[in-house]
Amino acid sequence: MEIIPAVTYTYLRSKKKFPNVWCAGCGIGIALGAIIRAIDNLKLDRNDVAMVSGIGCSSRMPVYVDFNTLHTTHGRALAFATGVKLANPKLKVIVITGDGDGLAIGGNHFIHTCRRNIDITTILINNSTYGMTGGQYSPTTPFMKIGTTAPYGNRERDFDICNLAKSAGATFVARGTVYHVTLLEKIVQQAILKKGFSLVEVISHCHTFYGRLNKEGTAVKMMEWQKEHAIPIQAAAKLPPEKLKDKFLIGTLWDVDFPEYCEEYDKVIAQFQVPPEDSEGKK
Amino acid sequence: MKKVIEGSMAVAEAVKVCRPHVISAYPITPQTHIVENLSQFVADGDLKSQFVNVESEFGAASVILGASATGARAYSTTTSQGLLLMTEVLFNIAGLRFPVVITCTNRAVSAPINIWNDQQDVMTIRDSGWILLFAEDNQEAADMHLQAFKIGEHPEIMLPVMVNMDGFILTHAFEPIEFIDQKMADEFLPPYKPELYLTTKNPLTFGILAEPDWYMETRYRLQKAIEASSDMIEEVADQFKKTFGRYQGGLVEKYRLDGAETVIVSMGSVVGTIKEVADELRDKGKKVGVLKIRAFRPFPKEAIYDALKNVKNVIVMEKAISLGATGILYDEIKAALYGKPSQPKISGFIAGLGGRDIPKESIMKVIEKGEAGISDNVFVDLKENLIGGK
């Protein structure tokens, strides 16, 4: 059998930046693979891709890939990315964030970037915890689950990320998991193609902290949980409500059209800017 | 009772005996172990306190501001980017004269991102109106928290206090720590009873708009309060010694200054290494001493002049810089000695940024350089190949 080197390797800064920080068994690498393949499938010029992130395990991703990359401050990736996109709308701007970075410290930027419908693709990797700092509970730690700052169970409710994005105004919302990797590749591809703000929530696992604290077993066990609890949205439509209890939907959950912000902005400029020939010597 | 524990645990244990009513927390390396330990104490019922896990450091600082406004004793901890994110609230806390305590586990500031130790974070908020204390080791860091609440809550002071301890070097180091007995702590630090606080029985307004006709006076009074805290810091250190038998200095600590010709001035954990170097040089007959700055705000200019007036060479070594100017401690020490009858030679060195190790050999070299002439803004142990050199 002929061995073809995976396309993902050709996009990695493998000589400079490896080994990576992720624990063995982490789902973020799987998500990275899916994102790279999606970009490769779309035949995007890698120099036209700008990957922006904040701080956290998932936010380390841009460090390892050969695109234009911007590694910024905690929670602010979407604000930085907005600047990138407005200044250079030709770039395909992809934001990599996590549940802590994107929804806690960066929650305000999250809702407003959704609302603004700027053409940014956001991949939010949800592992239900602050992994990098050692397993504190995050805005997506489920009710009564353990974190190092909630040793007897988290008494706060977790965010429904996809519904939040939809309500805030995102025009494309999808959910995948690191177990359903083919689907993930497909929805990331759709998200990149979408003109407007698109959000992909990637259900992942932190077996090192969250899994250990909550006795959810190995990375493999946690991925099996994803397999057992994810229901494709098409299949869900045919299932009775009791079969959907404790399950979550995967696939494209929301896809609508609304004017994109950069284009709207250009329209304002076009409408009110004095043409160059008129501006010379006619004042 | 002495136990070998992690620096973060030592601080958490010390904060516990201070009995804060409210603790707010947001995770950031290398501070996180402190709040994890505290959250465990609260969850286990060992500490009767409200533990609030917030969505950002901005929230963390805001929560303790609000808590303190109601008359509660409030505590939080952060570092680096987190401290910078708190900046707006830090100025508000000081302006409102709320005596909260924050531990800053000093760490470098982005960009590029770096999670290791230097002191650029705290030096960047030095003008916010907080009392800024620096610990050399974990025992001092732990003890400083009791002193911090006591200093800040004094009716004539009413100021927030930041206890600075070097990230990783102290927070993650295991050292033998003398535990603080709760009864003795209660004796030393009685319950916080502010004169003014938010209550439905006597509604008050805090933080209203101050117009040009009286804003400036609030700043003047803030300045006077920080100045007045100098005596309080000394007094509280003495009281602490009386109660617990330990004394790490008041505003400054003088180490082997008798007849010293060369004195190295520094803050934080590196002082320990510098003391060792001084010991070795003293054994060889060289007259070297160390001046440890425990309180950077209020800036103890009299104590500094008093310690340095008979010295030939003053060498300031610090882990921060005011970019475009000089090392901040260096600058302020020069200012403290300006116009005084005795004028030692003063050199400034920037060392250990972003966790760069400061070994004894480097300190030796710094001393040689400082004794040879005046060095200004010298970066210690730079790698020539990374700055365009050979």
Q: Kindly report the CATH number assigned to the domain that includes residue B316.
A: 3.40.50.920
Q: Does A276 have pLDDT greater than 80?
A: no
Residues B132, B16, single domain; the answer is: yes
Residues B184, B60, single domain; the answer is: yes
* The pLDDT value given to residue A279: 60
Taking residues A27-40, report their average pLDDT. 97
Residues B343, B260, single domain; the answer is: yes
Q: Does B206 have pLDDT greater than 60?
A: yes
Q: For B200-203, which contacts have Cβ atoms below 8 Å and span 24 or more sequence positions?
A: none
Q: What is the pLDDT of residues B14-64, one digit of tens each?
A: 999 999 999 999 999 999 999 999 999 999 999 999 999 999 999 999 999
Please tell me the distance from the alpha carbon of residue B387 to that of residue A8, in angstroms, as a whole number.
34
Give A-chain residues touching B27 at CB under 8 angstroms. Answer: 100, 130, 133-134, 136, 149
> Is A150 within the bounds of a domain?
yes
* The pLDDT value given to residue A77: 97
Choose the mutation target among A57, A137, A149, A158 for the interface with B, i.e. most B CBs under 10 Å: A149
Return the closest-CA partner of residue A84 out of A53, A55, A38.
A53
Q: Does B75 have pLDDT greater than 70?
A: yes
Sign, CA torsion A209/A214/A215/A220: negative
Residues B233, B261, single domain; the answer is: no
* The pLDDT value given to residue B389: 65
Residues B220, B261, single domain; the answer is: no
Q: How many CA atoms lie within 13 A of A125 on its CB side?
A: 29
CA distances from A99 to A26, A55, A202, A250, B296 (A): 15, 11, 10, 17, 38
Range of the domain at A139: 7-258
CA distances from B74 to A243, B23, B49 (A): 48, 6, 9
> Is A280 within the bounds of a domain?
no
The enclosing domain of B98 has a CATH number of 3.40.50.970
* DSSP letter, residue B214: T
The enclosing domain of A151 has a CATH number of 3.40.50.970
Residues B146, B279, single domain; the answer is: no
> Is A281 within the bounds of a domain?
no
Question: How many folded domains does chain B comprise?
Answer: 2
Helices (H) and strands (E) in chain B, counts: 12, 15
> Is A277 within the bounds of a domain?
no
Q: What is the pLDDT of residues B159-175, one digit of tens each?
A: 999 999 999 999 999 99
Inspect the interface and report whether the beta carbons of A130 and B56 lie closer than 8 Å: no
**Residues whose CB is less than 8 angstroms from the CB of residue A3 and which lie 6 or more positions away in sequence, other chains included:** none
> Is A117 within the bounds of a domain?
yes
Instruction: Select from B36, B44, B51 the Cβ nearest to the Cβ of A148.
Output: B36
> Is A250 within the bounds of a domain?
yes
Q: Does B100 have pLDDT greater than 70?
A: yes
CB contacts < 8 A (A, B)? 57
CB-count exposure of residue B12 (10 Å: 0-12, 13-18, 19+): buried
Q: What is the pLDDT of residues A192-246, one digit of tens each?
A: 999 999 999 999 999 999 999 999 999 999 999 999 999 999 999 999 999 999 9
Closest chain A residue by Cα to residue B29? A133
Instruction: Select from B25, B81, B113 the Cβ nearest to the Cβ of A149.
Output: B25
> Is B104 within the bounds of a domain?
yes
Q: What is the pLDDT of residues B281-317, one digit of tens each?
A: 999 999 999 999 999 999 999 999 999 999 999 999 9
Sign, CA torsion A66/A67/A70/A71: negative
Taking residues A21-29, report their average pLDDT. 96
Please tell me the distance from the alpha carbon of residue B13 to that of residue A122, in angstroms, as a whole number.
42
**A92-98 vs B288-293, strand pairing mode:** unpaired
Return the closest-CA partner of residue B72 out of B199, B162, B163, B229.
B199
Task: Please tell me whether residue A186 adopts helix, strand or coil conformation.
Answer: helix
Closest chain A residue by Cα to residue B58? A105
**Residues whose CB is less than 8 angstroms from the CB of residue B251 and which lie 6 or more positions away in sequence, other chains included:** B230, B233, B234, B293, B294, B295, B298, B300, B303
Choose the mutation target among B31, B32, B46, B86 for the interface with A, i.e. most A CBs under 10 Å: B32
Residues B90, B217, single domain; the answer is: yes
Could you tell me how many residues make up chain B? 390
Range of the domain at B333: 254-386
> Is B11 within the bounds of a domain?
yes
> Is B249 within the bounds of a domain?
no
Residues B265, B230, single domain; the answer is: no
Closest chain A residue by Cα to residue B35? A149
Inspect the interface and report whether the beta carbons of A133 and B25 lie closer than 8 Å: no
| Maximum C-alpha span of chain B | 72
E-state strands within chain B: 2-6, 22-25, 50-53, 74-78, 101-106, 131-134, 161-166, 174-178, 252-255, 262-266, 288-293, 295-297, 313-318, 345-350, 378-379
Last residue of a domain, one of B200, B219, B244: B244
Inspect the interface and report whether the beta carbons of B57 and A105 lie closer than 8 Å: yes
Residues B210, B296, single domain; the answer is: no
Question: How many folded domains does chain A comprise?
Answer: 1
Q: What's the pLDDT band for A18 if we cut at 50, 70, 90?
A: confident
> Is A37 within the bounds of a domain?
yes
Residues B293, B199, single domain; the answer is: no
